[in-house]
Amino acid sequence: MIAATWRVAWRNLWRNRRRNLATLAAIAFGYMGLVLLGGYAVRVEHFLRTNAVYLQHAGHVAIWQKEGLDRASAEPVAYQLDPTAQKAVLDWAKGDARVERAGAYLLGVGMAGNACTTQPAMLLGVDPPLLQALLDHPEVKEASPELAATAQGTWLAAHSEVATPIAVAAGLQSVLQKPKVLDQTKGQPPAPSVLACDTPAMATQLAADADIQLIGQTYDGMLSALDGQMVGTFHAPEQTAEDAQIIMPLAKLRELLATDRASYVALFLHDARDAPAVAADLGRALQAKGLKVDTYTYTDEVWSPYYVGTMAFLGSMVGFITLLVSVVLVFTVAGAMTLTILERTREIGTWRALGFERRYMLGLLLREALLLSLLGLAIGLVLGLSGAAAINAGGFRFAPPGVAGTIAFLIKPAAWSCALQAALMPPGVLLATWWVSRSQLRKSPVTLLTAPTA
């Protein structure tokens, strides 16, 4: 009986081919759009998460001294992690299988100079091997290869022979008028000891080497300086860092600022979904040791505001469009089913006369609507996946807002996003079909049999 009902429902779909094909096309193209939109959102999320966690060094979990995130820049001695706290966090991380890597980070501000001018700089101290491991991470290679690559030269770890290798954001490099990285200046005549600033010769003299002077203030208030060698330049994941960021070895930044402290320790996990649990477990473990710390995950707005804010906006936009498209498609199916029911009024009366109850007829109509929507969704899924593959093969690039440089325009539909976007349709269609059929099905068989419609 059930099989027969599905068979009849299937055959009924082909009775008015033109109308049902139009409905099917509406569902298919509407859902194809949703698959592409969802795939774009998945791609953007992956890109932003990868940037936030690995390239902006937020980690999946970050541990700051209590209130350090707000106050460490003003009172670093009081609000940065001392060596004991750093060791406690790193030891805990070593013993937890969920943690892939961990490392201490030091943030500082200072000046970067070219011997003619100086510019404010945001200094990030990180262990070069950790930096390299993060840049080589498969997730980074997949989601953000453009930003993991240097614009010129190499990253720090490739120049272990250099005393103070630094990587400079491309915008700051341009402001400092230092066009060549260390490898490009080898074999060139050296610059004079005193540069002819503000003369036509200055550009040539600045291009003669990759030296950049770093000036900072130690934690006890003294001025400090280091000569850095620009081994590479890069595009920062955030536009705000493009004109200011310098990445340097943690030890060298500590030397510049005369400290052994760290702004925070970042943990990089095998599975990002473990972040809340790891943060909670680590927070408890450190509290038990009497350490006063704050733990943040990459989904905390105060720690990763760009990622969280962008995803909130994108999520609500995709959700709204999905809802809108689903409602339109549900009404499209409801319209088609209304016509179907009106056209088949006498036939429904015949079924009722033969002994089929109202609920059976409702079941038949619901099956037809469900088949129509599922078929449309299946076609839409195939079209959406094919469209995504075609777009990805097209090699298009674009500049995302807030990100320096361009990235590949990729659509990465995920099974969960496709399922989530399709999930509204079947229940909506069933509800709408029930709604449009209930008045007809309430009628007596004789009313249906004598209805003026065919």
Contacts of 136 (CB under 8 A, 6+ apart): 148
Contact flag: residue 343 with other proteins (CB under 8 A) = no
Contacts of residue 55, defined as CB under 8 A and 6 or more positions apart, other chains included, come to 134, 135, 140, 144, 147, 148, 237
Of the listed pieces 105-113, 341-349, 399-407, 415-423, which binds other proteins according to CB under 8 A?
Answer: 341-349
Q: Is the dihedral of CA 240, 245, 250, 253 positive or negative?
A: negative
Least CB distance from residue 4 to other proteins, whole Å? 6
Counting Cα atoms < 13 Å in the Cβ hemisphere of 178 gives: 35
Nearer to other proteins, 249 or 349 (CB): 349
Our finding on whether 415 is near other proteins (CB under 8 A) is no
User: CB of 307: closest distance to other proteins in angstroms?
Assistant: 54
Binding of residue 179 to other proteins (CB under 8 A):
no
Closer residue to other proteins (CB): 193 or 439: 439
Nearest residue to 326 (alpha-carbon basis) of 87, 75, 26: 26
The verdict on 21 binding other proteins (CB under 8 A) reads no
Which residue, 14 or 439, has its beta carbon nearer to other proteins? Answer: 14
Q: Does 273 bind other proteins (CB under 8 A)?
A: no
Task: Select from 51-59, 130-138, 212-220, 342-350 the region that touches other proteins (CB under 8 A).
Answer: 342-350
Task: Using CB atoms within 10 Å of the CB of residue 160, give its burial: 0 to 12 exposed, 13 to 18 middle, 19+ buried.
Answer: exposed
Tell which one of 73, 184, 338, 350 touches other proteins (CB under 8 A). 350
Q: Is 347 in the site for other proteins (CB under 8 A)?
A: yes
Going by the DSSP 8-state scheme, the letter that residue 54 receives in this structure is: I
Please tell me the distance from the alpha carbon of residue 377 to that of residue 3, in angstroms, as a whole number.
22
Judged by CB under 8 A, the chain residues 222 through 251 that form the site for other proteins are none
Q: Cβ distance 108 to 287 under 8 Å?
A: no
Binding segment for other proteins (CB under 8 A), chosen from 20-28, 129-137, 295-303, 351-359, is 351-359
Q: How far is the CB of 359 from other proteins (least distance, A)?
A: 9
Residues 6+ apart with CB under 8 A from 323: 424
Pick between residue 4 and residue 393 the one whose CB is nearest to other proteins.
4
Minimal distance in Å, beta carbon 375 to other proteins? 17
Given the complex with other proteins, which of 277 and 342 has the nearer CB atom? 342
Q: Is 12 in the site for other proteins (CB under 8 A)?
A: yes
CB 229 within 8 A of CB 182: yes
What is the nearest approach in angstroms of other proteins to the Cβ of residue 446?
A: 4
Q: Which stretch binds other proteins (CB under 8 A): 75-83, 238-246, 335-343, 444-452?
A: 444-452
SS3 readout for 94-137: HCCCCEEEEEEEEEEEEEEECCCCEEEEEEEEECHHHHHHHHCC
Please state, as a whole number, how many other Cβ atoms lie within 10 Å of the Cβ of residue 395: 9
**Position 354 contacts other proteins (CB under 8 A):** yes
> Restricting to residues 356-395, which ones interact with other proteins according to CB under 8 A?
356-358
CA dihedral of residues 377, 379, 384, 387 (deg, nearest 10): -170
11 lines the binding site for other proteins (CB under 8 A): yes
Residues 440, 358: Cα–Cα separation, whole Å: 10
- In angstroms, rounded to a whole number, what is the distance separating the alpha carbons of residues 384 and 389? 9
For residue 332, the SS3 value is: helix
DSSP-derived 3-state class of residue 90:
helix
**Minimal distance in Å, beta carbon 12 to other proteins?**
6
| Shortest Å, Cβ 21 to other proteins | 17
For other proteins (CB under 8 A), the number of binding residues is 23
For other proteins, which is the closer residue by CB, 337 or 411?
Answer: 337
Q: List residues near other proteins by CB under 8 A.
A: 1, 4, 8, 11-12, 14-15, 346-347, 349-358, 444-446, 449
